[in-house]
Structure 1
Amino acid sequence: MRLLTPELGLIFWTALAFIIVFIVLRKFAWGPILKSLDQREKTIADSLESADRVKREMAQLKNENEELMARAREERSLMLKEARDTKDRIVNEAKEQAKTEANKIIAEAQQQINAQKMAAITEVKNQVGKLVVEVTEKVLRKELAGKDAQEAHIKAMVDDVKLN
């Protein structure tokens, strides 16, 4: 039972040792421990603040990136529209040029046809004129022979012309 009820001397020396250890620990251990705890708390707070700042910056960068993407899409749409417009303009210009060329070729062909037609008509007129002169010449030669002979001769010439 002696262990359960300590003596007064033991209590005194235990209390004195505890107080000495307490003072030594307070002076040399608790100060640095509390100081390191304060530094750690400050470091953690700074880290949290930095994390929040980085998070805000990332959100801002994300928004800027989305704006850039929207602008890029808009520019792409504009470029595609301009390309389509340019293509349509070039196609329309080519069609107009082709129509102009076709009309020019048709007009030249019509002019050539008209020129050949006029040349053919002139040639036919010349041939008719020659025939008339020949017929007239023959008629005048035969006129001296008599009216019946002249009519027979004209009839023969007309039949001769029809055969040719």
Structure 2
Amino acid sequence: MEKLLNEFSLGLFFWQTLLFIGLLLLLRKFAWKPILNAVNDREDGIKAALAAAESAKKEMQNVTADSEKLLKEARAEREAMLKEAREIKDKMIADSKEQAKIEGDKMVKQAQATIESEKKAAVADIKSQVAELSVSIAEKIIKEQLSNKDKQLKLVDDMLTDIKLN
């Protein structure tokens, strides 16, 4: 160190300082600015990449939320369709039951009407047979009673007595 102090030259120191400052200025102009610009560009690129990643993350969250929403809507629509199908099925069953009841009632009424008409026809037939039988019996009785003159007079008297009583 002492040797450095003994051999110290002010001119050399001045030129070395001047060259060092010049070198610093040259480095600043040609090396540091491009290096700093590259570092700043790199920093901006990283910030842009982070922003793009954050945007992509938000986009994925939105897409996930939208897909969940669509899935919920699809489930709700499926449930509504199943409910509607059940209601249609129940309505069709109820309508079929009602139609069957109406048809059954109609068939019962037809059967009752048929039975009633057959009953009336049978009663009319029985009445006509009874009337024919009664006329036949009355005819035989009258023939027998009218064959005898005493019986005829007695019958006329009996009838006159019945008429007076009524």
TM over 0.5: yes
TM-fit CA distance, 1:59: 1.3
> In the alignment, which residue of structure 2 is the partner of 1:119?
117
> In the alignment, which residue of structure 2 is the partner of 1:47?
45
Bigger mean CA deviation after superposition, 99-108 or 120-129: 99-108
Q: How does 1:1-164 map to 2 (within 5 A)?
A: 25-28=23-26, 30-143=28-141, 144-145=143-144
TM-fit CA distance, 1:69: 1.0
TM-fit CA distance, 1:29: 5.0
Give the fraction of aligned pairs with identical amino acids, expressed as a percent: 12
Paired residue type of 1:145: E
Flag structure 1 segments of 5+ consecutive residues without an equivalent.
Answer: 1-14, 147-164
| Whole-angstrom distance in 2 between the partners of 1:27 and 1:129 | 147
| Whole-angstrom distance in 2 between the partners of 1:87 and 1:46 | 60
| Whole-angstrom distance in 2 between the partners of 1:122 and 1:109 | 20
**TM-score w.r.t. structure 2 length?**
0.70
**TM-score w.r.t. structure 1 length?**
0.71
TM-fit CA distance, 1:118: 0.5
1:17-51: CA deviation from partner (whole Å, max 9, x where unpaired): x9697676544454221110110010011111111
1:72-106: CA deviation from partner (whole Å, max 9, x where unpaired): 11000000000001111111111111111111111
TM-fit CA distance, 1:145: 3.0
| Whole-angstrom distance in 2 between the partners of 1:111 and 1:27 | 121
TM-fit CA distance, 1:134: 0.6
1:122-141: CA deviation from partner (whole Å, max 9, x where unpaired): 00000100110111111111
Give the count of matched residue pairs: 130
| Whole-angstrom distance in 1 between the partners of 2:25 and 2:62 | 55
